[in-house]
Amino acid sequence: MKLKTMLFSSLVGRIIHAKVESHWWRGQNYYDLWWRGTWETEGGGCTLNHGVHHIDILQWMMGMPETVQAVMSNALHPNSEVEDLSIAHLSYLNGSMAQITCSVNHHGEEQQIVFQAENARVSAPWKISASTQLENGFPERNTVLEQKIDEYYNELDSLLFTGHSGQIHDVLSNIENHSRDVMIDGNEGRNVIELVTAIYEAAITALPVQLPLTKESLLYTREGILAHAPRFNKKLSMT
């Protein structure tokens, strides 16, 4: 929440590039459970079931892109027919770009969202870097702006709740107050599913996918997903 507020301040300027690293690690036996690792029962792999949370945050921060391109593979999990690694490239109408890596193969499980803006770089986990130009165009650290950004960030109020508790509280408070002003509504939920679907379609077809998706889109229905999704491996072991 504090990072989103910061991005909409005048201090950092317009977002130019975002990098999302949704890095997780799961052993091979993770997919031995009967419902994991198939398109029919899990709906997808690390993009849908692990990276979705970071993808959701990205689209909440930047909005929906105009075009999606992507690749995916199963590199280390032979008992799974779904992807365990995907990389997506998002292009926006204003010229900004974003890249998303989703994985269950990354040791250390480092996760971050980095925004490069006109005036500075900010991220979650919180980190700042700002540059100004020298006479030859090379960078010089802008410590004055870094301090201003950090002070602004630290002055923002912290949330009363974190994680699921905050969203549940927001919904229940709106019900009690007979309000419809929920922070995250069904449209937000649909946006992230549409974006994940576009990533899958781009990876499957090896072609750019335009948003919004239409009913003619390859994976618009469950039947379309099951008919066109690649089976990287044949799932054999189940518990």
Contact 152, 6 (CB under 8 A): yes
pLDDT of 184: 87
Residue segments in the chain with a per-residue pLDDT below the cut of 70:
none
Phi/psi-derived region of residue 23, left when phi > 0, alpha when psi is between -120 and 50, beta in every other case: beta
How far is Cα 46 from Cα 192, in angstroms, rounded to an integer? Answer: 14
Question: In what order do the strands lie in the sheet containing 209-210?
Answer: 139-141, 127-133, 120-124, 111-117, 15-23, 97-103, 85-91, 67-73, 209-210
pLDDT of 239: 77
pLDDT of 163: 80
pLDDT of 230: 97
Domain residues of the chain, as ranges?
A: 2-221
Residue 211 DSSP symbol: S
pLDDT of 237: 76
Model pLDDT for residues 171-181, shown as the tens digit of each residue:
999 999 999 88
Residue 81 DSSP symbol: S
Which CATH topology does 2-221 take?
Answer: Dihydrodipicolinate Reductase; domain 2 (3.30.360)
| pTM of the predicted protein model | 0.95
Q: What are phi and psi of 223, to 5 degrees?
A: -60, -40
pLDDT of 183: 87
Find tokens 């005048």 and name the residue.
10
